[in-house]
Structure 1
Amino acid sequence: MSAPIPTRVHYHRKARELELGYADGESYRLSIEYLRVHSPSAEVRGHGQGQETLQVGKKDVGLANITPVGRYAIKLHFDDGHDSGLYSWDYLYDLAINAARYWADYLRRLDAAGASRQALGIELKQL
């Protein structure tokens, strides 16, 4: 069974959250940081199990743009220059319904690595 397709996708710029609304009235707001660190791109996920790259310093990342990809996905263009992952409706729904568990796991991995959500310096954003 495939995930439902959102009837509404809205970026709340000030809150840095992407809202996904569904026909059944369900709605999820996912932080852009969460979406960035869980990017489906090979740059983040690698090319197989155990090849993931822990994303650090992404607390203040935002979106520069969102573009549709056919009827099955969107491409998120992050303001840190990352834009290589396609977020399928199935993947976004999985991120939404498992957000608490995935976020807790990310924070645990950050802690284990001695890393931080905070950027280490002045981050230059591409225009």
Structure 2
Amino acid sequence: MSSPRAPQPTSITVHQASRALEVGFDDGARFRIPFELMRVYSPSAEVQGHGPGQETLQTGKREVLIEALEPVGHYGVRPSFSDGHDSGIYTWEYLYRLGADETALWEDYQQRLAAAGADRDAPMAPKRAGGCASHHS
């Protein structure tokens, strides 16, 4: 056996109220992955770009919902988000990593926001100087 088999999901539940995707895996792991984290780290080219340094920093995704979850073969799912984004295919391995590394991924996201001088809740809009992004609930 050359490489260890990636954990397979045993259950997937979309929790709209708490905005989290709950995924249970056959190795006993269970994660509640926030929709915002999934959206910010979408594996799509639209978000990731086509190489290192080409990523598009995502903001204003705290309230994003998953409106549909479509199976992709036997290896993943393609969520349709409420902001219209639906081009990311999340493999089981990728979902597992999002769940297992959630804390580190949030820290990385916060650092990237800070480095860009961006606000987590700023709407994704054409880049303009100034602007007000002080909507905190």
* TM superposition score normalised by structure 2: 0.84
In the alignment, does 2:44 pair up with 1:41?
yes
1:75 aligned partner: 78
Contact 2:60 2:122 in 1 (8 A): yes
Aligned-pair CA distance for 1:2? 3.7
Aligned-pair CA distance for 1:22? 1.7
Q: What are the Cα deviations for residues 55-75 of structure 1, in whole angstroms up to 9, with x where unaligned?
A: 011111111100100100100
Q: How does 1:88-103 map to 2 (within 5 A)?
A: 88-103=91-106
Aligned-pair CA distance for 1:52? 0.5
Contact 2:78 2:88 in 1 (8 A): yes
Any gaps of 5 or more consecutive residues in structure 2?
125-137
Q: Percent identity?
A: 50
In the alignment, does 2:45 pair up with 1:51?
no
Contact 1:58 1:118 in 2 (8 A): yes
1:117 aligns with one of 103, 120, 125:
120
The 3-state SS of whatever aligns with 1:8 is: strand
Runs of 4+ in 1 over 6 A off after TM superposition: none
**Partner Cα separation in structure 1 for residue 122 and residue 19 of structure 2:** 16
1:63 aligned partner: 66
Contact 2:7 2:27 in 1 (8 A): no
Question: One-letter code of the match for 2:14?
Answer: Y
**Partner Cα separation in structure 2 for residue 105 and residue 50 of structure 1:** 14
Question: One-letter code of the match for 2:49?
Answer: G
**Partner Cα separation in structure 2 for residue 104 and residue 8 of structure 1:** 27
* TM superposition score normalised by structure 1: 0.90
**Partner Cα separation in structure 1 for residue 5 and residue 63 of structure 2:** 32
Compute the RMSD of aligned alpha carbons.
1.4
Query: What is the number of equivalent residue pairs in this alignment?
Result: 121
